Structure 1
Amino acid sequence: MNADVPKLSICIATLNRAAFIAETLDTIVPQLRHDTELVIVDGASTDGTDGVIAPYAAADARVRYVRLERNSGVDQDYDIAVSQARGDYCWLMTDDDLLKPGAVDRVLAALDGSRDMVVVNTEVRTVDFSGALSAGLVGTRHDVEYAAEDRDRLLRETAHALSFIGCVVIRRAFWMSRDRARYYGSLFVHVGVIFQAEAPRTLVIGEPLISIRYGNAMWTARGFEIWMFKWPGLIWSFPNLEDASKSRICAREPWRQLRKLWLYRSIGGYAPDQYRRFLAPQPMTAWSRTLSRGIAAVPPALANAVSSAYCFLVARHARMNIYDLARSANASFVSRAVAKAVGF
């Protein structure tokens, strides 16, 4: 490898994260080595993010800050970050989550040139990091290898983790060789890059190296659109993957599942506006339409209380759902009591 070319570029696309990004950078910058760099692409923030980042860039030549004149969307901004990077590999890191100590060294040790991608396991915590919601988005605590022909197994075993872009470390040449523009606006450009053709040779690191600040994503308010339409639309768009594998990740049309509509009503993500915008144009039976419209009209506090009671009695393991219910604008005394009972 050319000594002037970093082995790893940590690439962050950010927008209006002045309140959070310093905490993120404080877990990354001390881990940078001579063969690493940090590239931050700011999609025209208006909240003073530039002022937060400036001291880091001024103090360390390995930190490069690129401010765009206009916001192009998260997908294109990550693509710009990779284009600006100089490293052989790019870690598509987020702007409000935290690297664990030793994470960069652990990833660098895995970049031996034989792999196109490393997937980093991640733990999920509450928005203030005080509580644990998931010990890891990948189900294994052991490292696992995937060959190029293992694309269906890779999807089945890692798609849940890959919905979080920060777990992806990818060979820059592999990224640049793929069609990225097709996936602008999907919110998951990295998944399009990975699965549009033969899959990258991949190592999954089973040890969690990132702590996710759950519920703080810029797109949280668009959750219904994203998880009912955008995510399944992307997963089911890959013709080279088996339907059985795709169905393990999500239904082709999850919005037809009444229990999902009820959950989104419970957390404030599904209401008459969402019904009219997303479901009214869809083909469905008269009975399904009546039920879908009816769920949107259920008093949200009632839906929240019923869902919270169900989680307490039947599904205490669904910690992220319990957390969502308790943090919702529709939160009831039941949801707050359940959250307290499970330790939030």
Structure 2
Amino acid sequence: MILLSICIPTYNRSAYLIENITSIVERALKEQCTDVLEICISDNHSPDDTEQAVAAFKATSPVKIVYKKQAQNLGPDMNFLDVINIASGKYCWYMGDDDRMKEGAISLVLNEIKRPDAAVIYNGCRTECDINLNPLRYDSWYNERLTKKTFDLSSDADLIAYFDACRSLGGLFSFLSSLIFAKSSWDKVKYDDRATGLCYAHVFMLLSITMRREGQLKVLTEALVDSRNNDEIIRNYGRVKRFLWDIDGYKLFTELLIPEGNALHNAFVKVMQRVHNWHTLLNVRSMTTIEQWNDIAVKLKTFKYSPFLVACIARTPGFILARRRKRKGFIVE
């Protein structure tokens, strides 16, 4: 019986992917768990040699490999979803194609999901690394308010405490490689097509599981993966676009899933205020026209940013914005 499916959506990164799944198999062999594990790969119609590289790896792998090549590029969101569709495990663990499994991480997760009181969602942490996966620092999604690790999803008090402890959107499920969840809970969620195009389909699904208010969410404070920092998204899309992915995505999820007018809603939207504080907003303002900023300001209302703060940033003198751009190496996007 497969207990854990490690699910990797991939596109055009065959070298990183093979390095990744090699690390998974090495860990599984060392931790003697190859028989309860599978690796599921959804290839988003890569133009490189991903198909051939996976086929060669699969031929000798002691871990079951499930590979699907999409007939066309579906975009990231649909690929994120489809890799779960091909999984057969009791639990699924998302993994970015360019990350690397930590030693001991598989055993840790298996021990958790075998417990009689296993959670429906586990969220771990990571080690930030450079482009060559040389470790730089431990990265947790949580602040000093994290006083416990298991949260009852049916309890407003527990969910508020969890949201209050989040200092990063990783705590709200943005980072793929730290997410483990019960597939039976995932399968109960009906996907909303309005989430497509935001690169956060997985966040919609996991927030939907959370807001079903059934079971437990557990924080794993251990770093489960080495996370490769290659700035590819910034290079390809720019800093403002990357910022707007967060704003647009979580704005939609707030409106669809988090009822307004109570303490739970307030705790949820304040996470965004901590993640993108006034420093981030000023950076974004320095890279945008006043017209672009005014559009952003409307979106920020969802997260209850101070209107005074937003207005002050809008009126920041041009020479200050220019100085900030020069110091940070930004350009107007």
Distance 1:35 1:281, change over 3 A: closer
SS in 1 for 2:35: coil
- Partners in 1 of 2:249 and 2:70 — Cα distance? 26
| Residue 12 (structure 1) aligns with | 8
Distance 1:13 1:142, change over 3 A: farther
Coordinate RMSD, CA, aligned? 3.7
SS in 2 for 1:179: coil
Q: Where do residues 278-293 of structure 1 align in structure 2 (5 Å cutoff)?
A: 278-279=295-296, 292=314
Distance 1:168 1:282, change over 3 A: closer
| Residue 197 (structure 2) aligns with | 185
Aligned with 1:275 (options 292, 309, 318):
292
1:262 aligns with 2:282: yes
Q: Structure 1: state its 5+ residue gaps.
A: 307-324, 331-344
Distance 1:289 1:116, change over 3 A: closer
Q: TM-score, normalised by structure 1?
A: 0.73
Instruction: Judge conservation of contact 1:123–1:210 (CA < 8 Å) in 2.
Output: yes
SS in 1 for 2:13: coil
1:246: how far off? 1.6
Post-superposition Cα deviations, 1:8-54, rounded to whole Å, max 9, x if no partner, equal 00001111223422222221122331010000001111233223322
Q: TM-score, normalised by structure 2?
A: 0.75
Q: Where do residues 1-344 of structure 1 align in structure 2 (5 Å cutoff)?
A: 5-32=1-28, 33-60=34-61, 62-111=64-113, 112-114=115-117, 115-130=119-134, 132-139=136-143, 144-149=149-154, 150-158=158-166, 159-161=169-171, 162-182=173-193, 183-196=195-208, 197-199=211-213, 200-216=215-231, 218=233, 221=237, 222-235=241-254, 237-240=256-259, 242-251=264-273, 259-264=279-284, 270-272=287-289, 275=292, 278-279=295-296, 292=314, 302-306=323-327, 325=328
Give 1:11's aligned amino acid.
C
Post-superposition Cα deviations, 1:203-227, rounded to whole Å, max 9, x if no partner, equal 2111111121134454762313213
1:92: how far off? 1.1
1:78: how far off? 2.0
- Partners in 2 of 1:175 and 1:281 — Cα distance? 33
Distance 1:134 1:293, change over 3 A: farther
Give 2:99's aligned amino acid.
D
SS in 2 for 1:59: coil
1:59: how far off? 1.9
Post-superposition Cα deviations, 1:108-165, rounded to whole Å, max 9, x if no partner, equal 0000253212212222223333352443234479971111223333333354332212
1:188: how far off? 2.1
Instruction: Judge conservation of contact 1:42–1:68 (CA < 8 Å) in 2.
Output: yes
**Same amino acid, percent of matched pairs:** 19
Distance 1:282 1:187, change over 3 A: closer
- Partners in 2 of 1:174 and 1:300 — Cα distance? 47
**Could you tell which deviates more after superposition, 297-306 or 69-78?**
297-306
How many residue pairs get matched?
299
Q: Structure 2: state its 5+ residue gaps.
A: 29-33, 302-306
- Partners in 1 of 2:83 and 2:300 — Cα distance? 40
SS in 1 for 2:107: helix
1:99: how far off? 1.0
1:282: how far off? 7.3
Instruction: Judge conservation of contact 1:122–1:138 (CA < 8 Å) in 2.
Output: no
Give 2:284's aligned amino acid.
Y
- Partners in 1 of 2:59 and 2:320 — Cα distance? 53
- Partners in 2 of 1:67 and 1:179 — Cα distance? 24
- Partners in 2 of 1:298 and 1:52 — Cα distance? 52
SS in 1 for 2:45: coil
